A and B are shown apart, each in its own frame.
Chain A
Amino acid sequence: MSTAQTETAAPAKNAPAIIASSVDEGHRTKQAPFGETLVSLARTMPEIVGMSADLAKYTDIHIFAAAYPDRFYQMGMSEQLMMTAAGGLAKEGFIPFATTYATFAARRCYDFISQAVAEQNANVKIVGGLPGLTTGYGPSHQSTDDLAIFRAMPNLTVIDPCDAHEIEQLVPALAKHDGPVYTRILRGAVPLILDEYDYQFELGKAKLLRGGRDVLIIGTGFMTMRALDAAKRLAADGVDVAVLHVPTLKPLDEATIIREASRTGRLVVTAENHSCIGGLGDAVASLLFRSGVTPAMRQIALPDAFLKAGSLEVLQHRYGISTDAMVHSIKCWL
C-alpha cells in the first residue's frame, strides 16, 4: 500500500487556520449533534455525567453543561486528572462522558486511560474533538495518531463516526454499551450525509453504503463522506465504486471486511483522516493478511509526519484527504 500523492491544483491559500469542522461545499449540516443528543439522552439516563478539561465550548458538551449544570464537572486544564476521575465516577455507577481534544486524550492521558479506565473496564466514554486533520493549528492540535494509540489499548472500543446523523445514533449506543469507549467527534456545524443512505449505526458493525464493481473504498470517519462524493464523481468517468463504512475500528467488523474484500476484481482503497500508521489502513491490511485475502490495495491517509500549520482546506488537499485528491489518487491507481 502507498499513501496518496496529490498532484491536482490546490485550493486558494486564504482560509484562516481556525478550529473548524470539515464541511464540504453543498453539504447540509446539523449543529452540535454530540451535545444535543447527550442532553436529550440524559433526560432518561440520570447516571450520565459530563466532564471537560476547559474545552467544553470546543467539544459541544457546553450544551450539556448548560442543560444539567449539576451533572457537569469542569476539571480545569488537567486532562490526566479528568480521565482518572472519570474512572472513579464510573466505579460509583455513573457514566461519564469525558471530553477534550482527541490529541490531548490520546497523547497526554494514555497511561491514565490505560490504568484507570481500560484495565479496570470502567464505563467511561472518552470523546475527542478535532479528529485527525481538522485544524490548521499545527501538530499540537492535529490528532493524527489517536486511532493508532487507542487501538493498541486492550478493552477499549474505538470509533470514528462520519457525520451528524451517525453521531446522533452513536451517543445512545455508547451509553448503552457497558465498557470503556473512545470516540472522535466533529463539533459545531457537522455535515449531514448518512441520513440519505438509510444508515443505522451499530457498535462494531461495518455497513456497505453503495455497491460497485471496480473499486471498494473502505472508509472511516468523515473520509466515508468524501468516499461517497468521490464515488459519484468517478461514476461520471465510468468507474463503479463501492463504499464500505467502518466507524468502529475496534473491535473491527472482520467478517464484513473480509467478505467485501474477497470479491475479486476490485481495487481495495482504505480512507482515513489519520496517519498512515496504525489506523484503518493498517487494521484492514493486517486483517486481510492474517486471513489470506490479498486484493490489490491502496491507502489514503495522512503521512507519517508532523503536519504543517495553515488553512484547513489547503492542508487537507496537500496531504491527500480532500475529495479532489481522493478522486485523483484512485484514477492514478486504476
Chain B
Amino acid sequence: MLRIELSVRDQDKYLPHIIFAIIIAILPHLGRLPLWIIIWCAAMWGYLLFSLRFQWPRPNRAVLILFSVFGIFGLLITYGMRIGPNAYLGLLSIMAALKPFEISTHRDRMISLFLAYFIVITSLFQSESLFITIYMFLSVFVTTGALILINDTTATFKSGLRLSGIIMAQAIPLMAVLFILFPRIQGSIFGLSGMPDATTGFSERLSPGNISRLVKNNDIVFRAEFEKNIPGANHLYWRGIVFHEFDGRSWHRSNRIPGIRYFPTGQSPVTYTIALEPHGKRWLFTLDRPASTPKWSRMYMDYTLRHLRPVNRKKYYCITSYLQPYKGRLWDIAPAQQLPAKGNPKSRKLAGDLAGNADSVEQLINQTIFYLKTNGFVYTLEPPLLNRNPIDDFLFRSKKGYCEHYASAFAFLMRAAGVPARIVGGYLGGEVNPFGNYLIVRQSDAHVWVEVWSEVSGWMRVDPTYAVAPKRITGGTSETLTKEFSGSLFVKWFKQLRFGWDAVSTSWEAWFSGYSYLEQRALIERLGIRMKSLKGLLTVFSLICGTIFLTVGLYVFFQLRAPATKKDRVQICYEKFCKKLKKIGHPRLSNQGPVDFAGYIAQKRPDLKPDVYEIIRLYVQLRYQKSHDTSMVKHFCKQVKAFNPW
C-alpha cells in the first residue's frame, strides 16, 4: 500500500513543472484564443494543481474522453469550417489542458512536454517579431529545463534550467548554420499564414465616418525606409486606393480600371523600401506617383498597386516614385466624371456657379478652395450625422467634417462642374524614427484627398482639407487634434524608448523574415554554388552535413580533452609558475612533486632559490595543508605573477 502511495506521489512530482512549461508556451497566444478556451485551460490546470495539494479525485478515462469530445465540439462551434492556424491552436490548447490529467508514466510526461514544444513553434504562425522570437527562446528554455528535470532524478529545477541554458547556448551555432543553409521553402510554413484582423484599414467603400474611425487607431500600417533623404511633408502622400464611383452617399473603388501599360515618369525620383504589416487586403501603399511594380503585384491606370493575393504576411517591397510626375497618358476619364442622376441639388447649383466664374480648371479649383476657406467650415473628428443628400447637408448646413467630407464634397463639386475628379485614399505623412531614420505610418495617419484632371497638366493632387486645417497636412493628425499633450520628461523618455525598440525590432524582422528562399539562393550563389543544378544541391547538402559533423566533432573532441575537474585558481597559478620555469629551460616533469621540483630548480638556478622556495611553500600550504584562507590564494597568485626567472 505504502509503495503504491509513494509511486503516485512520485508520478505527480513533476506535474507543476510540466504545467508551468505549457503555460509559458501558450501565453503569447492568449490574445488569439477565444475566451472559453482560456477559461477551459485555467480551470483544468487549476483543478489539477489543487488536486495535488488537497488529494482531490482525478477524472477517469471516460470523463476525459467526454471532455475531449466537448472540447472538439466547442471548437467546431467557434471555428466551424474555418480551419486555420487559430483552429489548430485551439485544438492544441484544449488537448494540452487535458493531457496532464492522464500523466502517469514517463512517456506521458515526455509527450506533454513535446506538446509544449509544439505550442512554442505555433508562435511563429502569429508573428516573427523580435519580441516573439525572444519569448520563444525563453519558452524553449523553460520547457527544456522541465525536460531535463523529468529525466534526471537528481536535478533540481534550478540545475535543470542551468543545463537547459547551456544546451541552448551550445545549439546557437548549429541554429545559425541551419538558418542560413537549410533549404528554404518558398511560401509560408505549412501553407498556413496568419489571418490578421481585417477590421482596420481602408475598405473598398468610402462613406462618412470610415476615416475618423481609423484616426483613433494607433496601429502601424507600414514602415518606409528611404534610400536617401526623407522627402518633405508635403510630398508624403501615400497612395493606396482610388475611389471613382459615387452613388450619392458613398464612394467606391471601380473594378473596371485596366492595368497600366506605360509607367509614369517625371522628376525627383525617390527610392524606398516599405515593410507593410499584413492587412488582409490587396493594395500596396506607394508615394505619389509610383513608377515600378514590385514582384507579385500589378499597377492600374489610376496608379494604384494591387498585390496578387491578400497581404496576410508582412510584405517587403522596394519601389521608386516620382514626386513631380509628368502628365500621364490619357485614359478613358469617363469613370471620373460619373455622377448619379439626381440628388444634392444645391451642390450642383453651387458647382454651376463656380464653374461659370472660372475660365480654367485651375481657377475652378482655386475658387472652390476659397469657398471652403471662407464659409466657416470646421475641421472635426466628430461631425454631425448627414441626411440623404450628404453633400448638400455638409456644404450648407453642418459645415463640420473630416478629410473625407471635404474630399467627397470637393470631388462632387468638380464632377458637377464637368471636371473629371476622383478621391484617393491612403496615408499622409508619418513619424520619423530617429534611431533608424525611417518613417512609421500608423492608421491614425489615414487621409483622403482629391485628384482633378486638367487638359494642361493631367491629374493634379488637390487636398481640400488643407484649406480648412493646414496644420493637418504639415503636422500630422495628432498635433491638430490633441493640444500638444505635455512633453514631460517621462513622455519624452517613453517616446525615445518606443522609437528605439521599434528600430531594433524592425531591423530584426527585416533581417529574419527577409531572409527568404531568394536571399538564400543569392547568398549560396555568391559562394559559387549554383542552386538549380543537382550538383549545387548536393554541394549545399554536403556543406550542411559537413558543418554539423565538424561542429559536433569539435565539441566531442574538446569535451574528451578537457580535464574532468575544473581547475581552481591555485592550480592555474601553479601551472603559470611552471610555464615560466619551462620557458627558461627547466620544465617540471609530470611526476615531479612540488618540493622535488623546488629542489631541482634550486640546484639549477641558485639565484632563484628564495623566490621558488617561497612560492612552493605557499603552494604546498594551499594544496596539502589543512586550512588556509582566500587571502593566501591572492598572495600566492601575486607572488607567481611577480616571479620573473629571466
Instruction: Please indicate whether A and B come from the same complex rather than being unrelated chains.
Output: no
Residues of B within 8 A of A (CB): none
